[in-house]
Amino acid sequence: MLDVETTGFSHHKDEIVELGIALFRYDRAKGQVLDIAGEYSGLRKPSCPVSRSASAVHGLTRHALRGHRLDYRRIRKVLRQADFVVAHCGAIRSRLCGAAHALVSWDDLALFAGRY
């Protein structure tokens, strides 16, 4: 499960400020999550302002994000263990993740055309 918080709602100009990942074991036959196998949560200082509307949703400000960086090695390590990825609130965020492929590449997310 992957979730992001952003500086706003535009995939053209806004950036990811928080990334959360929960790696879980899943029983496909029963349709059940069995347990949490790993987690990652990190903050990132953006290069653009955090909009008031976005801050009202997640409570993060540029000041609160100062000095924070995502741990890309750890993110890749967790994501490479995933068989599939479920993203929360996909439409805008999937475009943001696509635009931010330098942060988390789709290859790392194991999202290959036709695979799932």
Over residues 31-65, the pLDDT tens digits come to 899 999 999 999 999 999 999 999 999 999 999 99
Q: Count of residues for the chain?
A: 116
For domain 2-99, give its CATH number from 3.50.50.60, 3.40.1190.20, 3.40.470.10, 3.30.420.10: 3.30.420.10
What was the pLDDT predicted at 60? 96
Amino acid type, 67: G
Ramachandran angles phi, psi of 89, nearest 5° = 55, 60
Q: Are 110 and 28 in contact (CB under 8 A)?
A: no
Confidence of residue 83 (pLDDT cuts 50, 70, 90): confident
